[in-house]
Amino acid sequence: MKNNLLQLLSVAMISLLLICGCKMNGKKQSSSGKTQELMIVTNKNIYNGQAKAALDEIFNTPQEGLNQPEPRFEMVCIDPSTFNGSEMFKTHHNVLSLDIKKDGDNKVSVAHNKWANPQTVITITATDHHSLDSVLRANKDLLLEEYYTSERNRMAALFAETPNASVNNKVKEMYGFSLLFPDEFRIAKTEGNFTWIRQESKDYGLQFYISTQFAGDPAALTEEGIIANIDTLMKQHVPCDADGSYQSTEHNDVYYTHKTKLGDIEAIEVRGLWRCINDFMGGPFISETFVTPDGEKIVTLIGCVYSPSQLNKMVMKRDLLMRLDGICHTLKY
């Protein structure tokens, strides 16, 4: 209870500042909230009832491709009267409203940018607790897709506030498409058809690789082909700290592969773990592989997170990976 209250107060303070600023310039306020945080608007009877198991299954299960268990989303529950009585909470970028109306219908509605921008507000009403549980489970894929898209849109909006023009222009010049990198990123290496862009801080490091190869081999678009290409690129271009060490994917763990879209571009996403051969570094990665619109080349985008655990501080690898995922989804031709 105390942690939830502190979270709500944190959201409220940020939201109040945003609302005040936006009222002055007449624009819709920017959305608030932590990365991959979801505000559940419902009463405690519903939240702690039969629907809680469905909510946990959808949002509280570990995110794929991490080397430590972290939930997909952090859920914060707030009573409808508190939410509706204040504009501060309405700026949250991810809102899920749950209600039971015995005389109503089971239905799901999705609204974008209702009170803030960017924002996703999903409202689910059901005739009873059992029906609410069923509706939640039946719409699991919709809920996750909408809220992950909301996260990526919010990342893009944040990156656009402080873009690194030199990095972004260099990427467009070399590859013919644009990606939006925030100011903290710098180009570390460019060799032939390979570019290494990185962000380093005292708590973590983010690495982003871009590479192209000629299209033609169908195997290059399979999971095995993508992993083999990533391993080759890393061994050739990305040394680790120890002598003779280099980066590679972790072959002893599971890869998670599915089709996705980067704007209008169909892509194959692979998530998994990376490691340093002959060294002790590692972490999660995400990659996106797609064929250029002219069909001549295959492009692979790779984002790697390095964030060692600390006794007094834990940086969520899930949130750092979302930053790299967000960069991938800013792709435009």
What's the pLDDT at 23?
A: 45
Q: How many helices (H) and strands (E) are present in the chain, helices listed first? A: 9, 13
Co-location of 279 and 135 in the same domain:
no
Give how far Cα 81 sits from Cα of 41, 78, 210, 229, Å: 9, 9, 48, 54
| Domain stop point among 110, 130, 160 | 160
Q: State which of 160, 180, 209 marks the end of a domain.
A: 160
Q: Based on the fold, state whether residues 220 and 275 are members of the same structural domain.
A: yes
Residues 6 and 153 in one domain: yes
Contact 208, 237 (CB under 8 A): no
Same-domain check for residues 122 and 16: yes
pLDDT of residue 78 exceeding 70: yes
Q: What is the pLDDT of residue 313?
A: 61
Q: Does 30 share its domain with 49? A: yes
pLDDT score recorded for residue 47: 94
pLDDT over threshold 60, residue 138: yes
pLDDT, position 21: 40
User: Which tens digits make up the pLDDT trace of 279-326?
Assistant: 889 999 999 999 999 999 999 999 999 998 654 466 789 999 999 999
Co-location of 18 and 113 in the same domain? yes
Q: Express each pLDDT in 168-225 by its tens digit.
A: 999 999 999 999 999 999 999 999 999 999 999 888 999 999 999 999 899 999 999 9
Structurally, the chain folds into a number of domains equal to: 2
The predicted structure's pLDDT at residue 25: 44
Picking from 321, 325, 330, the residue whose alpha carbon sits closest to that of residue 288 is 325
Name the residue among 94, 195, 193, 90 with its Cα closest to residue 152: 94
Please give the share of the chain, as a percent, with pLDDT higher than 70: 90
- pLDDT at position 152 over 80: yes
CB 179 within 8 A of CB 327: yes
Q: For residue 308, what pLDDT is reported?
A: 86
Has residue 10 been placed in a domain? yes
CATH number of the structural domain spanning residue 178: 3.40.1000.10
Query: Cα(first)–Cα(last) distance of the chain, in Å?
Result: 47
Q: Answer whether residue 12 shows pLDDT above 80.
A: no
The domain in which residue 7 lies consists of 2-160
- pTM score, whole prediction: 0.88
Say which amino acid occupies 68: Q
d(CA 110, CA 128): 21
Q: Quick check: is 96 in a domain? A: yes
Q: pLDDT grade, residue 59 (50/70/90)?
A: very high
In this predicted structure, what is the pLDDT of residue 16?
41
Least confident of 14-28, 31-45, 295-309, 311-325: 14-28
Residue 55 CA to residue 129 CA, distance in Å, equals: 13
Query: Which residues make beta-bridge pairs with 224?
Result: none
Q: Residue 22's pLDDT band (boundaries 50, 70, 90)?
A: very low
